[in-house]
Amino acid sequence: MDNQLISFTEENYLKIIYLLTERHNGNEVSTNQLAEHTQTKAASVSDMLRKLAEKSYINYRKYQGVRLTEAGEQIALGVIRKHRLWEVFLVEKLGFGWDEIHDIAEQLEHIDSKELTKRLDDFLGNPQFDPHGDPIPDSKGKMPSVSYQKLSEISLNQSVVMMGVSVHSPAFLQHLDKQQITLGCDLKVLEISDFDKSYDLLLNDEIRLFVSNEVARNLLVQISST
């Protein structure tokens, strides 16, 4: 609609390169990592990287991994913006659970209409974060910077607010639902078990809760400002 030049598939590659680069703190993304996340084989990734490099969306030196160019990053951020806005829509307007929305957003993120994205953003009240706590890039392609810590890095008896998750699998999110751990809830680490490094938590200053170390490492929190 707004541009014909970039395919669905190319958008997906650029988005995944962005997210993996972010996860690796700015380091190059490898062919095998991309193959895993695109559900294809390394050979297919190599082909696509050659093509994306030709179009100047990535910087690519054979065998050395890839990094997005400014142009590529802008496309990636546009896709991520749409993905996260649609996730907000699905949860806030249609009443989906945060564990049900990702695959639908994977499709909606490719709908091509600047005007639609703008109106959707306004309709949702210009949200800054998606239902998983991930920041939503603005219409200029700027990603809000956030600095969260893992719950597993927080000292004992420190009150924190739950701000996000670093794993988005339905299984993990449903697990949190069952324990009543939601975005914005209050958490305090009371004790870490010597036996299995599991966590004894206080939820919202009321409820005792036990979670595995695995859970604690995938909860993103912020020191309470109050």
Question: Where along the sequence are the contacts to its own copies (CB under 8 A)?
Answer: 1, 90, 93-96, 100, 103-104, 107-108, 111-113, 115-116, 119-120, 123
Q: Which of residues 81-110 bind Mn ion (CB under 5 A)?
A: 87, 102, 105
102's contact among DNA, Mn ion, its own copies, none, with CB below 5 to 8 A by partner kind, is Mn ion
45's contact among Mn ion, DNA, its own copies, none, with CB below 5 to 8 A by partner kind, is DNA
Question: Sign of the C-alpha dihedral, residues 223, 145, 213, 100?
Answer: positive
CB of residue 103 to DNA, shortest distance in Å: 16
Q: Which of 21, 109, 130, 151 binds Mn ion (CB under 5 A)?
A: 130
Residue among 43 and 171 whose Cβ is closer to DNA: 43
Closest C-alpha among 121, 52, 61, 63 to residue 92? 121
CA angle 120, 121, 127 (to 5 degrees): 135
CB of residue 107 to its own copies, shortest distance in Å: 5
Residue among 65 and 72 whose Cβ is closer to DNA: 65
Cα 171 to Cα 218: distance, rounded to the nearest angstrom = 13
Residue 38's Cβ-count burial label (10 Å; 0-12, 13-18, 19+) is middle
Residue among 113 and 224 whose Cβ is closer to its own copies: 113
Residue among 51 and 102 whose Cβ is closer to its own copies: 102
